[in-house]
Amino acid sequence: MKAVNVKELKEELANSTPKELRDLCLRLARFKKDNKELLTYLLFESSDEVLYIEGVKKEVDEQFELINRKSHYLIKKSFRKILRTIRKYARYSQKKETEVELLVYFCTKLKKFTPSIQKNTGLQNFYDKQIETIRKKVTHLHEDLQFDYGTELSTLTNKMDRSSL
């Protein structure tokens, strides 16, 4: 089966009744966890973005607690999994500020992580790549937010550089 384009879907949905739309949404929610999570965000959490961000941060904290610290390979694999989760939740929100806030929090957790990520080149490069991603995303924000996140970024990078000397 070939999926139709968004324009055709939009036209068909415009012709649907509210009951049909509700049934379609519920049916979508049954098929995939991501659909259910997105509907949950849109219906319940999108009105309070700060609370949403705090909830995501709690989930990130829980995932950091579960990291297997036996090898750098397993640590990096866990970091990537956490980053996928953050990106998924940021995609639900579609707000650049939320994405930057979550990425800054992630990098803060990475910096404080034990064993130190500085002891492994791969983990250090992973951290540096996330910092660079944040820098690029910050340029698209309002000037006040650019300044705020710029100072947070400088503290993240400065402390890392000083401790490696």
Interval 25-48: pLDDT, tens: 889 889 889 999 999 999 999 999
Residue whose C-alpha is closest to residue 85's, from 113, 110, 63: 63
Domain-embedded: residue 138: yes
Domain-embedded: residue 40: no
The domain of 62 spans 48-163
Fill in the DSSP letter of residue 4. P
**pLDDT value of position 162:** 41
Residue of 19 and 4 predicted with greater confidence: 19
Question: Whole-angstrom distance between the N-terminal and C-terminal Cα of the chain?
Answer: 59
* Mean local confidence (pLDDT), 69-76: 94
Query: CB under 8 Å to 145, separation ≥6 — which residues?
Result: 97, 100, 138
**For the chain, what is the mean pLDDT?**
91
Domain-embedded: residue 31: no
pLDDT above 50 (res 57): yes
Q: Which two tokens stand for residue 147?
A: 């300044």
* Mean local confidence (pLDDT), 74-84: 96
Residue whose C-alpha is closest to residue 90's, from 75, 101, 105: 101
**pLDDT value of position 1:** 82
Query: What's the rounded Cα separation, in Å, for the pair 114 and 151?
Result: 24
Domain-embedded: residue 23: no
**pLDDT value of position 82:** 97
* Total of domains in the chain: 1
Query: Rounded to two decimals, what is the model's pTM?
Result: 0.85
Crossing angle of helices 18-31/33-40, nearest 10°?
130
